[in-house]
Amino acid sequence: MKNATRLILLMLLTLCFLSTAQAKRKPKTATCAGGTPYRNCPACGKTTSKPHQQLNLLKNRDAAVTNPQKITVQEIRDPANDQVFTPTKKVWVTGFVATIDDGGKQETCNCKRIDLRAR
């Protein structure tokens, strides 16, 4: 009986130790598997920031959107809608480009490669 009690106590201590060790592990790093690589640039881009990697995965999607909500550029620019639009919201926007300025910050979702910039 004493041996059985000791064995059960040992098993409980082992389980407590394992669960504590697992809780202290670092969370898994974001993978680039959720997006679409483009010309040897991984889907999560070149950034090491986890939140930016997740945004880059969203930018590098290639699946067609189903049932997008039609909105206007004015709705996007309205400060009252700042909390309405999220990176995962599916929208359809029609707009027109008035002018283009080359330059600015290099985009991490495209590995900061100038040859992958939209023209």
Q: What are the tens digits of pLDDT across the range 15-61? A: 555 544 444 444 444 457 767 887 888 888 888 888 888 888 888 87
Predicted structure pTM score: 0.52
What's the token pair of residue 15? 């389980």
CB within 8 A of 76, min separation 6: which ones? 85, 93
Answer whether residue 117 is part of any domain: no
Answer whether residue 26 is part of any domain: yes
The whole-number pLDDT of residue 87 equals 73
Answer whether residue 114 is part of any domain: no
Answer whether residue 108 is part of any domain: no
Answer whether residue 24 is part of any domain: yes
The whole-number pLDDT of residue 97 equals 84
The whole-number pLDDT of residue 13 equals 55
Answer whether residue 64 is part of any domain: yes
CB within 8 A of 55, min separation 6: which ones? 87, 109
Q: How many domains does the chain have?
A: 1
Answer whether residue 67 is part of any domain: yes
Return the percentage of the chain with pLDDT > 90, whole number.
4
Q: Domain containing 41: what range?
A: 2-101
CB within 8 A of 53, min separation 6: which ones? 30, 32, 44, 45, 47
Answer whether residue 112 is part of any domain: no
Q: Bigger pLDDT: 30 or 107?
A: 107
